[in-house]
Structure formats: C-alpha cells, structure tokens
C-alpha cells in the first residue's frame, strides 16, 4: 500500500479550518469579508523593483542557472545594506547567501545542523516552519512560551539542563510575529550568551526588521560575540512587498554559513537572477519603505483605538504589520475570532492557531494589516458596532 510518510501523518491538523468554514459560508452568500488573516501585503511591489525585473529579463536572457549562493551583485548589495542599516560588515563572498525567501531557508536549516533526536528551541506562538523543519529532520521541539507577563520574551534561564544539553538551534524572531515585540539589546545579549554557553546555534529570523514605527529594531549580529554563534535570516517580502518574488538572504560567519550553503546546493537551483536584480534595486531605495511604514502606522492607529474601545486591555503593535490583541470580555482567541467574523465580517487569526501546546496564544487574536486603508476604516466601524 502506498501511503504518506509519518512526517505528514503526524502534522498538526489545520487550525484555521473552523474559521475558514465560517468565512467561506459568508462569502458564498455574497457577504463582504474584510480579511486580516494571512500576512500577505496587498500594497503593489514598488515601481523601482518592477522596472529592474523587467529590464533584467532581457539582459539575463541567456544567463542559465543562477548561482546557488546568489549573484555577486545581490550579495554585495545585501552586505552594503546590512552595513548601512546595522553597522555590521559582512564579506559578500563568504558571509552571505541568497535564499528563495525566508520560509524555505528556515525549513531547511535543520538539515545542516540537526541530527535525529536533537532538540530545537522554538518560540510559542511562532512561525510554523521552525517546528516542521525540525521534525522533518526527526528532531524534537522544546517550546518557549511568549507570555504577556514576561513582555513576550522566552525564559531562557528556565530551560532545563537536560533540554539545553541536547539543543542544536535556538530560534528567535524579533520584531516578533505575532506579538509585534521589538527585542531589547539586553535580551539579544542574553540569547547570545545562552548559545555560547551551551554550544547552540542562534538562528535569528529578522524578516520584519524594517516594519517599525518609533523604535528602530537592531540585528542580533550587532551584539558583541554574536558572530561566533549566530545566523541571521532576512527577506525582501515584507520590507519591499516582494512576497511573490521569493528572495531573501542568510548572513553570518563563514564557518556557520557553509553547512547551510551546502544544503542549498542539494535543495534548489538558486533564486532567479532577474528577481535578484529587482532586489538590488529594492535594497538601494528607502523611500518606498518609509511610505509603507506611514501606511501601516495609519492603519495601526485606527485598529488599536477601536480594539481598546471595545474592551481589549492588551493591544500590542510595536512593529511588524501585525496587531496582537487580547480578546475582550474574557473570551478565548477562537471565540473572539469567530465573533469578529460572524458579527463584523472581519477575518483574523486566533492565537491558538499559531501556538503549539504552551497555551501562550490562547487569549489573543492576530490582525495582519494588509487590507487597504479604506477597508481598515470600514472594519473599525463594523467592530465598534459589535456587542461584547
């Protein structure tokens, strides 16, 4: 009998199913659902990027397979941007590699570092590929709850010795999806010290580093000693509305990066070169990023006030394009998401769908601020009319 692998059969059920059934039923009846669910920007990819990609299609007409590690131009551009942004110098040849976005890279990292039976330390709630990548390698996951009373930092000091002794990777993600938290330099230093003391790779997912409002987030590679234990994952998807282009990079010390680069040579044939040319244009321009921040700030301010007005006593929106809002009236995350969808025709993600078994997201709902400003205003009017 031909059947799926245990990796597939042991995957968690799709946690959005119940919400999706309500959404699909409403849409089938012609109801206008405003969708804050999936974190996929609807803002057009900047013109500077589209133009660069179009021109590159002709210029690269006979370019063949791309380099596994990315073009010289892209790596030089990414290294230059990283230095301007974070004050960290990277060698484009040995300390930076192009990726097909962040998701594929995050999922593949355990192939370079995890053996069956090893442990990966994963924030909860958090991005699902941290978990699925580890389990695809037959590694275990130890979940670190991101609780409100700890300011959405994991308790690294509370990790049992029997766990840290088997750990190979610690994932951190700041600015954080879904809690929106920006990491302090003291926490990043704590993470670096933990990984140094326990021979653990610090994998820092910084895909939202450019979507902020007031405080400018740092990179873990700016922290003293981080270069010895850290790899940074970043992407053009959110910074430049290039989700469909699938382009990003991983940066870090050559000795740490080389095992990952070796995995890449077996898992894909490189990011499309004409798209890398578009990314070079994106990294050379900050104007479109500033415009995105202004747009998200306006939507954030509307939603934060609305959610506080209906009784949420915990609305977080420090950075990213998410809002992490505590359900009012003692409701759980799934109940509040269902009510928003049924009563206001506003779709969100219940925190429970983003969590594993720690329960850290059970009281919260995530809004991805991807609808237009006009749609956001309409959503706020609908939410304010709800009976809580």
Q: What is the pLDDT of residue 18?
A: 57
> What pLDDT shows up at residue 3?
78
Answer whether the bond into residue 95 is a cis peptide, omega within 30°: no
What is the rounded distance in angstroms from the CA atom of residue 281 to the CA atom of residue 313?
42
- The answer to whether the CB of 383 falls within 8 A of the CB of 344 is yes
- The fold of the 48-283 domain, in CATH, is 3.40.640
Name every residue whose Cβ is closer than 8 Å to that of residue 333 and which is 6 or more positions away in sequence.
327, 350, 351, 352, 353, 361, 362, 363, 364, 365
pLDDT of the chain, 388 residues: tens digit per residue = 887 888 777 776 555 555 677 777 777 888 889 999 887 788 899 999 999 999 999 998 888 889 989 999 999 999 999 999 999 999 999 999 999 999 999 999 999 999 999 999 999 999 999 999 999 999 999 999 999 999 999 999 999 999 999 999 999 999 999 999 999 999 999 999 999 999 999 999 999 999 999 999 999 999 999 999 999 999 999 999 999 999 999 999 999 999 999 999 988 888 999 999 999 999 999 999 999 999 999 999 999 999 999 999 999 999 999 999 999 999 999 999 999 999 999 999 999 988 987 889 999 999 999 999 999 999 999 999 998 8
CATH 3.90.1150.10 domain residues, the chain: 6-31+288-384
Tokens 């234990």, located at residue:
229
Enter the pTM of the model.
0.94
pLDDT confidence of residue 16: 54
Q: Looking at domain 6-31+288-384, which CATH architecture does it have?
A: Alpha-Beta Complex (3.90)
Cα–Cα distance, 194 to 114 (Å, whole number):
18
pLDDT at 376 (0 to 100): 97
Count of CB atoms within 10 A of residue 25's CB?
A: 12
List, by residue range, all CATH 3.40.640.10 domains of the chain: 48-283
pLDDT at 99: 97
Is 223 in contact with 189 (CB distance < 8 Å)? yes
Who contacts 376 (Cβ-Cβ below 8 Å, separation ≥6)?
A: 34, 299, 302, 303, 369
């Amino acid at each position: 009998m031909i059947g799926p692998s245990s990796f597939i059969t042991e995957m968690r059920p799709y946690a959005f199913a119940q919400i999706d059934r309500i959404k699909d039923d409403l849409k089938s009846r012609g109801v206008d659902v405003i969708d804050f669910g999936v974190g996929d920007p609807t803002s057009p990819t900047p013109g500077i990027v589209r133009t660069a990609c179009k021109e590159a299609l002709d210029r690269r007409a006979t370019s063949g397979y791309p380099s596994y590690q990315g073009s010289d131009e892209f790596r030089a551009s990414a290294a230059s941007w990283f230095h301007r942004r974070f004050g960290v110098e990277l060698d484009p040849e040995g300390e930076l590699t192009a990726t097909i976005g962040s998701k594929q890279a995050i999922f593949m990292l355990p192939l370079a570092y995890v053996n069956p039976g090893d442990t990966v330390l994963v924030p909860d709630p958090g991005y699902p590929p941290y978990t699925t990548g580890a389990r695809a390698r037959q590694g275990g996951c130890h979940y670190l709850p991101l609780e409100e009373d700890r300011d959405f930092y994991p308790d690294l000091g509370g990790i049992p010795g029997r766990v840290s002794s088997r750990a190979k990777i610690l994932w951190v993600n700041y600015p954080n999806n879904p809690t929106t938290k920006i990491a302090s330099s003291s926490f990043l230093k704590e993470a670096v010290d933990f990984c140094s003391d326990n021979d653990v790779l610090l994998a820092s997912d910084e895909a939202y580093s450019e979507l902020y409002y007031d405080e400018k987030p740092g990179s873990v590679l700016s922290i003293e000693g981080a270069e010895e234990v850290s790899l940074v994952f970043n992407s053009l998807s959110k910074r430049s509305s290039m989700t469909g282009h699938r382009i990003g990079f991983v940066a870090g010390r050559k000795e740490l990066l080389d095992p990952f680069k070796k995995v890449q040579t077996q898992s894909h044939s490189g990011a499309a070169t004409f798209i890398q040319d578009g990314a070079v244009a994106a990294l050379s321009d900050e104007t479109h990023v500033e415009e995105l921040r202004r747009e998200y700030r306006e939507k954030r301010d509307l939603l934060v006030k609305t959610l506080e007005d209906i009784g949420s006593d915990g609305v977080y929106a420090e950075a990213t394009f998410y809002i992490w809002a505590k359900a009012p009236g003692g409701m759980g995350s799934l109940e509040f998401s269902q009510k928003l969808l049924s009563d206001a025709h506003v779709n969100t993600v219940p925190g429970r769908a983003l969590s594993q078994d720690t329960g850290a997201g059970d009281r919260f709902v995530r809004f991805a601020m991807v609808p237009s400003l006009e749609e956001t205003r309409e959503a706020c009017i609908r939410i304010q009319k709800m009976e809580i």
